[in-house]
Structure 1
Amino acid sequence: MPLVSRAAAVAGVLVVLLFSLPTLAQAQVTAFRQAVAESAARDADLAAFYRARDFQGIWTGSDNAAKQRRNALLAALANAPAHGLPASTYDADQLMAELRAAQEPAQQGQMEVRLSQIFLKYARDVQTGILTPANVVPLIKREVPLRSRAGTIDAFVRSNPAAFLRSLPPSSPEYARLMTEKLRMERQLAQGGYGPSVPAGSLAPGASGAAVVALRDRLIAMGHLERTATQTYDSSIQAGVQRFQQAMGLAVDGVTGEGTMSQINVSMERRMQSVIVAMERERWINRPRGARHIWVNLTDFTAAIIDNDRTTFSTRSVIGAQDMDRRTPEFSDVMEFMVINPSWYVPRSIVVGEYLPQLQRNANAVSHLDVTDRSGRVVPRGAVNASAYTERSFPYSMRQGPSPRNALGLVKFMFPNQYNIYLHDTPAKNLFSRSVRAFSHGCIRLNDPFDFAYALLAKQESDPEGFFQARLATGAESRVNLNEPVPVHIVYRTAFTHVTGKLQFRNDIYGRDAKIWDALAREGVAIRAVQG
């Protein structure tokens, strides 16, 4: 071919290539956007998000913003197990491998949506929990504060990526302390945990031998005893046992009886399960609790008033009995008022389930209660033929008027709710001396109800005690509204921390945390040992 002709041919090819490059680039963009649209189509929130962006990516570009988002997400996912989230769900290494393998525009479009899906799942899991509480334990009536998925990804795109992801977990001091303890326990587990269990059913001061050495070593490993070479159950070991008992909510006597020994021999893995469950529970309540709020921990049998994250009042409590129909539910509400010298309006379930059979046997049974009609008028016992009715057809109610013997005692604290649960006094004071206090029909009984009332009234009365006692002295039922209603949180924590950061553990009285752990394990959450 002549030289001129060959040059012309080459020039012609170059012209074709130059005019093809925009067409090729446009084809790649089209393939990417089409893959994004198709991959997001099954998720309404992501479909709307990408449609508003004309199906442009936020993760897979080569621009600095996309790189920052990718890096921040991968770093957060790598740290997911620290929050008690399943490592298999958030495998950052696997995700990076998939990103590198996505070379074609269509593959990159699919990865774009996959990253958004993982981001939204992580955001939900670390912010408000992996589980839906009521699906695991029906009596957990908590409304989890789920955030809008569309709002979450919109806010993320407008924010600093790393800072946004750091803001997702609960910001409560308790969550931070639990996480710190979890990480510490993981390092300790890699070094042997609590060590061998104590080979004895019980031990008392003065004992010596191999079992005492095992007890000593275990107390040291748990952080309740300074290092010592003693092989005798001396005063130092006794003090360590007392510290352990206090951390477990046990009777503090310094003697390692059967109950204390069974708790000492609980494995570190089991304790870590409780901590991880507590972190999940913190995520379920990831919203402002109120500068002043009431915190009722069922497993600890206590009710406390919290002001600006500090406990300003605490009292022992009695909770619902362990029968399935008496267990206290978990929920949050707002306390609006108290009733001094209250009447007890017997719940329908108790009227027909407990008292109707007694009335059918003896018309004068439960004589301390009035039988009332639909209008609230007292019906003479002789006019009530209880045997003529069934549980469903019994037309009467029952009520106990104000008195020191009233089932509610002399004051009740009301946060109206559909479960008919409230806090109240009780004439059965002897129950508060027991270590396990599960005896009520579901309501929370208080050991120091008057002091509890004074603490609440102190915000609105110059002389709260005098105000309360004056109302009490009348003997008449009296409603006192709280000028500033107080949030109430009825919770269930078998693991929690003292403000010093020290872990406390309690028994799983209703077996709820065991069910939650099983559900978390099914999601892939696992105990891990981490080399320090």
Structure 2
Amino acid sequence: MVVLLLLFVFYFAKAQEGEEHLYSRLDPKATRKLVLSNQKSFYYPKKLLELYSKLDYACLWTCKEENLELYKELINNARQHGLRQKDYEVNPLEDPLLYELFITDRLIRLAHDLYYGRLRPKKLFNHWTAPEKEDKVINILADLIKAGRIKDFFKELSPKDPSYWLLVKEAELYEFLSGLEWKTIRPRKALRVGDRSPCIDEVRYRLFLLGDLKEYEPSEVFDERLKEAIKSFQERHGIEPTGILDGQTLKELNTKPSERLRQIYLNLEKLRWVEIPKNAIVVNIPSFELFYFKEGKLSLFSKVVVGRNYEKDFRPTPILYSRVQSITVNPKWYVPISIAVKDIKPKVLKDPNYLSRKGIRVFYKGEEVDPSQVDWASLSERNFPYMLVQEAGPRNALGVLKFNFPNPFAVYLHDTPDKHLFKRHKRAFSSGCIRVEKAKELALEL
């Protein structure tokens, strides 16, 4: 008891008379000395001292037991955001000042992980171009602590995007579902309205757990209510909403909640990487959708066609961040070599008139050449000295509008003459560019 008292007397400045115990002060010199002599033990030693300086070296945790409980509650809630609770836990120490500092250091780590993300996208993706977020974590923390609003920690430091908080709610659901038995459902055939099978009741209950079926009543008969629930499930998982329990739907339905939870955590992490400006075009690649936000409010929604993601033909739309600089009306299409070889060459070999029908001209060193004089069979991506140019017009692959923005991938947003593809549920047909259904409306918005 005497030793512990001596430690507190040495490390903590005496609280002023009438001041709450929460606001007892740390000794600034002792604090700085301890942090600097243990820098390798802290994640953010400089920010740790910066925060205490802003708080006039207030004792945050070890001066009041209920504040320690509040910290434990904070790190317990980190799980719902896909962050590991153990990364922020601090075991009690005999040295109260060191214990205090370790807790605050881990709080700063949690704040950083929540604000910036645990991973650094620049290390994961080549040509990552999104700007770094403004560094204001310490200021936010200081303001929360001064105002006694530490319970608003997650609200203030997490992304403001509504989809982020929707995923946080989903994480709660799938964390619960991960604790349930999740047997593999194996019907003998695809099931549809009118069919009867013991599997149908399992499907019905599972869709109820997942929220696609509003009420559960035991039944082995495939009825209209079940069909609508399956369509809802299919819609949410990027499957053509037929209402038939086919192989693809069954595969998604049998996916373990724990696996789905990992997917949710991954998407929460991605949403932390970028702060979406008030005026922004956001393309959700997996859902084949475009959103235009004006002054923070949704102003336009459009279906899009994105890059192919097939195993044998992988040309995905890249993740990028840029600024639209101009719009070209009635653009020409300068065909990339990769597309010329993979897509156009086989069609020319099959149909010598293909280029003329599509309005595509062939140039060699700036001079137009006769396509019939080209040895198409010998050409490859490494050996393609020609430039293919499709003239503006109704057949042009870019349609009537092209949205230009600098990027290292040579991709852009554009119109398209192939409007029928927007009726498809899965729209991965391009070579990386984004075809916009409402290109004209988007141009007018901009």
TM bucket by the smaller chain? 0.7 to 0.9
Within 5 A, what are the aligned runs for 1:376-525? 377-381=366-370, 396-446=386-436, 448=437, 451-457=438-444, 459=445, 482=446
Preserved contact between residue 43 and residue 106 of structure 2 (Cα < 8 Å): no
CA positional deviation for 1:184: 2.9
- Of structures 1 and 2, the one with the larger relative CO (CA 8 A, separation 6+) is 1
TM alignment of 1:146-295, pairs within 5 A: 146-148=133-135, 152-153=137-138, 156-157=141-142, 159-160=144-145, 162=150, 165-166=153-154, 167-190=156-179, 192=180, 195-200=182-187, 201-225=189-213, 226-285=215-274, 287-290=275-278, 292-295=279-282
How far apart are residue 280 of structure 1 and its match?
1.0
State the match for 1:369 in structure 2. Answer: 360
SS in 1 for 2:33: helix
TM-superposition CA deviations, 1:294-349 (whole Å, max 9, x none) = 22211112223345443633224243443676211112222233222110012244
- Hey, what does 1:467 align to over in structure 2? none
Q: Which amino acid aligns with 1:265?
A: N
1:85 is matched with 83
Deviations 1:468-504 (A, max 9, x none): xxxxxxxxxxxxxx4xxxxxxxxxxxxxxxxxxxxxx
Structure 2 unaligned segments of length 5 or more: list them.
1-5, 14-26
Q: Is the contact between residue 51 and residue 142 of structure 2 (CA under 8 Å) also seen in structure 1?
A: no
Q: Which moved more, 1:119-128 or 1:320-329?
A: 320-329
Distance (Å, rounded) in 2 between the aligned partners of 1:43 and 1:216? 51
Taking a change above 3 Å as real, the CA distance of residues 390 and 453 of structure 1, as seen in their structure-2 partners, is: closer
Aligned match of 1:38: 37
Q: 1:261 to 1:32 in 2, by over 3 A?
A: closer
User: Aligned residue for 2:111?
Assistant: 123
Deviations 1:428-482 (A, max 9, x none): 4454444333222110123x3xx4313541x4xxxxxxxxxxxxxxxxxxxxxx4
Q: Distance in 2 between matches of 1:339 and 1:257?
A: 44
* Superposition TM-score, scaled by structure 2 size: 0.76
Relative to the length of structure 1, the TM-score reads 0.65
**Secondary structure of the corresponding residue to residue 79 of structure 1:** helix
CA pair 281-41 structure 1, distance change in 2 beyond 3 A: closer
Distance 1:391 1:112, change over 3 A: same
Give 1:464's aligned residue: none
Aligned length in residues: 414
Asked which structure has the greater CA Rg, the reply is 1
Letter of the aligned partner of 1:87 in structure 2? Answer: Q
**Which ranges of structure 1 fall in alignment gaps of 5 or more residues?**
1-20, 460-481, 483-532
TM-fit CA distance, 1:86: 0.9
Map 1:351-362 onto structure 2 (within 5 A): none
- Whether 1:301 and 2:299 are equivalent positions in the alignment is no
Shift of 1:410: 2.5
Question: CA 1:381/1:68 → structure 2, altered by over 3 Å: closer, same or farther?
Answer: farther
